[in-house]
């Protein structure tokens, strides 16, 4: 009933959404006399803030088609390379990349859409050919398409690496870090030629026990049955995925917001003040962030529960008990794939130490194939979006990829 109640609430807010739109239209119209008064600006700002909170959002657009430089406009080509029920593999390509390397950018399946990595992609595509896992909202996947848990997720990753390899570079952002490590371990154990040249793990829970956070506390404080009974729901009849059990995106969003509730309240208060002052640039920046942040997708219940059980509660990967289709997942089998880990000094979701733990697990890699980078002064999102990502983290990753990319025959550089 949880999902149905949420839909009822959303429908009940329909008239209020219409009223806020009407209010914005009137009080932002310069021909309306009261729009130029202080009270009129308060009305417009209030309607804008309220509308932003209660707006019904779907999957965002990627929102960029070209990179603008002094030497002209460089179009970005977007193409779907592979289509499956639970996700697409999409490619971004730009003529700015003179000697592009193939990058598989694995986006999180943790409530937000892959478009959360918009800034990540826009920076990487200047130098590389970027392939992104674009996961599907589980509420849109018919129940007849079967389950999708950790095993199926890893299978997608293994298949993608075989499709794109060899000479591939893999980057995992947040949640998929342990699953990318698992997939590469499986390829290494089988000495598969598709083993990537480098693997970059960014702010992910390789070993959640290495550094406690509110996320790890919650996972350890409840039984798996509690998560199943209280945080999963059945998709209602009006959706394509009717009958499928999911972890609803609106619950994940509530969890994200509750972790830093006052920060979000302050942000909306500042947005209100910026609108009254006429600071359009700050208001636009706020709206862009929250349009993305408040756009959420459902995750299959089996994937969510598998993650809680294997990644957080049992810590199967660092404890050496993870298996995939009956095969042991052993990162010590990795000998050819260079490992870069990236952490944010202020990360309160995957705290420093959780991702770095991958190095000890990849014990067969020679010293020259290991690197850990901790970005000072940034939290979880700062390592893959924003100024520090563009000016520092992406440079570290590009240099690491360049260093470990296989040299062509005859190339002595």
Give 269's Cβ-side CA count (13 Å radius): 6
Tell whether the model's pLDDT for residue 48 goes beyond 80: no
Q: Tell me, what's the pLDDT at 347?
A: 92
Please tell me which residue, 265 or 156, carries the higher pLDDT value. Answer: 156
Greatest CA separation found in the chain?
74
Strand extents, DSSP E, 291-389: 299-300, 323-324, 327-328, 338-344, 370-375
DSSP-assigned letter for residue 312: I
Give 2's Cβ-side CA count (13 Å radius): 14
Q: Are 383 and 203 in contact (CB under 8 A)?
A: yes
Q: How far is CA 322 from the centre of its chain?
A: 23
pLDDT tens-digit profile of 55-97?
665 677 888 888 888 888 899 999 999 999 999 999 999 988 7
Domain boundaries, the chain: 1-54, 78-404
Q: Tell me, what's the pLDDT at 412?
A: 46
DSSP H helices in 345-393? 358-361, 387-388
DSSP-assigned letter for residue 384: T
Predicted TM-score (pTM) of the model is 0.82
Over its C-alpha atoms, the chain yields an Rg (Å, rounded) of 23
Residue 180 CB partners (closer than 8 Å, separation 6+): 106, 157, 170, 172, 199, 201
Helix (H, G, I), strand (E, B) or coil at 268: helix
Q: Are 132 and 206 in contact (CB under 8 A)?
A: no
User: Burial letters for 176-188: b for 16+ Cβ neighbours within 10 Å, e otherwise?
Assistant: bbbbbbbbbbbbb
Task: For residue 118, count other CB atoms closer than 10 A to its CB.
Answer: 18
CA distances from 223 to 215, 220, 308 (A): 14, 8, 10
How many residues are listed for the chain in this entry? 413
Helix (H, G, I), strand (E, B) or coil at 329: coil
Is the peptide bond preceding residue 18 cis, with omega within 30 degrees of 0?
Answer: no
Dihedral sign, Cα of residue 344, residue 349, residue 353, residue 359: negative
Query: Is CATH 3.40.190.10 correct for 78-404?
Result: no
pLDDT tens-digit profile of 185-213?
999 999 999 999 999 999 999 999 999 99
Q: Are 169 and 130 in contact (CB under 8 A)?
A: no
Tell me the average pLDDT of the chain: 84
Strand order, beta sheet including 233-234:
233-234, 245-247, 299-300
Give 5's Cβ-side CA count (13 Å radius): 6
Residue 30 CB partners (closer than 8 Å, separation 6+): 36
pLDDT tens-digit profile of 374-406?
999 999 989 998 899 999 999 999 999 999 998
């Amino acid at each position: 009933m949880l999902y149905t109640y949420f839909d009822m609430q959303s429908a009940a807010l329909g008239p209020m959404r219409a009223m806020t739109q009407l209010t914005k239209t009137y009080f932002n119209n310069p021909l309306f006399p009261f729009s130029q008064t202080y009270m009129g600006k308060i009305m417009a700002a209030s309607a804008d803030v309220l509308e932003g909170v209660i707006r019904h959002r779907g999957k965002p657009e990627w929102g960029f088609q070209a990179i603008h430089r002094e030497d002209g406009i460089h179009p970005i080509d977007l193409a779907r390379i592979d289509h499956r029920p639970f996700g697409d593999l999409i490619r971004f390509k730009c003529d700015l990349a003179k000697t592009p390397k193939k990058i598989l950018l694995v986006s999180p399946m943790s409530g937000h859409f892959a478009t959360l990595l918009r800034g990540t992609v826009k920076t990487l595509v200047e130098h590389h050919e970027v392939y992104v896992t674009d996961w599907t909202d589980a509420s849109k996947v018919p129940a007849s398409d079967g389950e999708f848990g950790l095993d199926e997720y890893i299978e997608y990753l293994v298949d993608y690496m075989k499709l794109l390899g060899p000479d591939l570079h893999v980057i995992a952002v947040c949640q998929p870090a342990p699953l990318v490590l698992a997939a590469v371990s499986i390829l290494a154990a089988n000495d598969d030629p598709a083993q990537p040249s480098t693997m970059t793990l960014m702010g992910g829970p390789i070993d959640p026990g290495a550094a406690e956070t509110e996320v790890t506390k919650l996972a350890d404080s409840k039984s798996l049955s509690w998560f199943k009974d209280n945080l999963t729901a059945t998709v209602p009849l009006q959706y394509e995925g009717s009958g499928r059990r999911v972890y609803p995106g609106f619950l994940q969003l509530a969890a994200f917001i509750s972790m830093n509730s006052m920060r979000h309240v302050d942000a909306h208060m500042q947005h209100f003040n910026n609108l009254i002052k006429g600071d359009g640039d700050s208001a636009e920046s706020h709206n862009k962030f929250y349009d993305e942040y408040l756009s959420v997708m459902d995750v299959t219940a089996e994937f969510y529960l598998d993650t809680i059980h294997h990644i957080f509660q049992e810590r199967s990967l660092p404890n050496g008990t993870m298996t995939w289709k009956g095969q042991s997942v052993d990162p010590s089998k990795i000998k050819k794939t260079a490992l870069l880990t990236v952490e944010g000094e202020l990360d309160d979701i995957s705290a420093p130490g959780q991702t770095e733990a991958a190095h000890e697990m990849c014990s067969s890699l020679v010293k020259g194939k290991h690197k850990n980078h901790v970005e000072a002064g940034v939290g979880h999102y700062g390592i893959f979006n924003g100024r520090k990502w563009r000016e520092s983290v992406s440079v570290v990753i590009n240099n690491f990829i360049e260093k470990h990319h296989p040299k062509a025959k005859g190339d002595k550089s």
